[in-house]
Amino acid sequence: MPDYLDDLRLAHVLADAADAATMDRFKALDLQVETKPDMTPVSEADKAAEELIRGQLQRARPRDAILGEEFGTAGTGPRRWVIDPIDGTKNYVRGVPVWATLIALTEAGEGGYWPVVGVVSAPALGRRWWAAKGQGSFTGRSLSSATRIHVSRVGDLADASFGYSSLSGWEEQGRLDGFLDLTRQVWRTRAYGDFWPYMMVAEGSVDICAEPELSLWDMAATAIVVTEAGGTFTGLDGRPGPHGGNAAASNGLLHDALLGYLNQRY
């Protein structure tokens, strides 16, 4: 099995560059923000960070394809980098520090491209998480200053902490009643939002989380961090990986129960 360590080192270099660019404009009074056709915001920092990452990838990995949230797909081939320059743009533009750059390397396999490297860098929180296939998941300041992380061993919903983003998407999909039933069964619920609950599942401080509507760039990096930490990451249909347009992540022990509630229809 390839160890992907060179790719992981490159992903950290990319994240370092993106962190510098995004932090430079975080809370800037003259930050320029536009509304995309899907009615979500995009800032000049989103675009600058993705352009920066793409430029470095084109020099360091010219044969690899790239998929980014802001500028689409470039190139073809069995290896594809997947980039979300700022996951949590709404937080970013309001000065809330819960946002991150997500960088993943995926490889073509049965059923699509599968993450083999992932870095989630949240510079305003002073946190970074990463994983490579077969190598485990870690958090820390750098590859040389890292702590291995693992999901929790909580096996009962009554003892579980449940992280999510908002209620509106569940209601739009007719899943709100099941979602609310789940919140009544667990020990604690918190709407941390975006990348963060997945990272807390990976490090064992949250036990389950889910979102009803996501894109590949929202999930590719978080999925491998969760699974390499010993957790389970699927779509709401139970299909493994970041391909379902939505996500459910858990410590594995609670996954069937999580899906059971979120798939209830009334």
pLDDT of 144 > 70? The answer is yes
Cβ neighbours for 203, distance < 8 A, ≥ 6 positions apart: 129, 139, 149, 150, 151, 229
- Whether residue 84 is annotated as binding a ligand: the answer is yes
- 184-211 confidence digits (pLDDT tens): 999 999 999 899 999 999 999 999 999 9
Task: Indicate the residue type of 169.
Answer: G
Determine whether the annotation assigns residue 87 to a binding site. yes
CATH number of this structure's domain 4-144: 3.30.540.10
Please calculate the CA angle 159-160-162 and round it to the nearest 5 degrees: 150
Asked if pLDDT for residue 39 goes beyond 60, the answer is: no
DSSP-assigned letters across all residues of 195-256: THHHHHHHHTS--EEEESS--HHHHHHHHHHHHHTT-EEE-TT--BSS-SSSEEEE-STTHH
pLDDT digits (tens, 9 = 90+) for 75-112: 898 999 999 999 998 898 889 999 999 999 999 998 88
**Where are the domains positioned within the chain?**
4-144, 157-263
**pLDDT for residue 38:** 62
Q: Are strands 145-149 and 112-122 parallel, antiparallel or unpaired?
A: unpaired
Nearest in space to 119 (alpha carbons), one of 82, 163, 73, 165: 82
Does residue 103 have a known ligand-binding role?
no
Expressed in angstroms, the distance from the first to the final Cα of the chain is 46
Residue 27 has pLDDT above 90, yes or no: no
**CATH code, 157-263:** 3.40.190.80
Share of the chain above pLDDT 70, in %: 96
* Chain Cα centroid distance, residue 12: 15
pLDDT for the residue 69: 87
218 annotated among ligand-binding-site residues? yes
Residue 200 tokens read as 């807390």
Say if residue 43's pLDDT is above 80. no
Confidence of residue 35 (pLDDT cuts 50, 70, 90): confident
pLDDT at position 24 is 87
pLDDT band at residue 72 under the 50/70/90 scheme: confident
Q: Is 51 a known ligand-binding residue?
A: no
Residues 25, 242: Cα–Cα separation, whole Å: 30
Do residues 119 and 12 touch, judged by C-beta distance below 8 A? yes
Task: Determine the pLDDT at residue 3.
Answer: 80
pLDDT tier for residue 44 given thresholds of 50, 70 and 90: confident
Confidence bin at 34 (pLDDT 50/70/90)? confident
Q: How far apart are CA 27 and CA 160, in angstroms?
A: 35
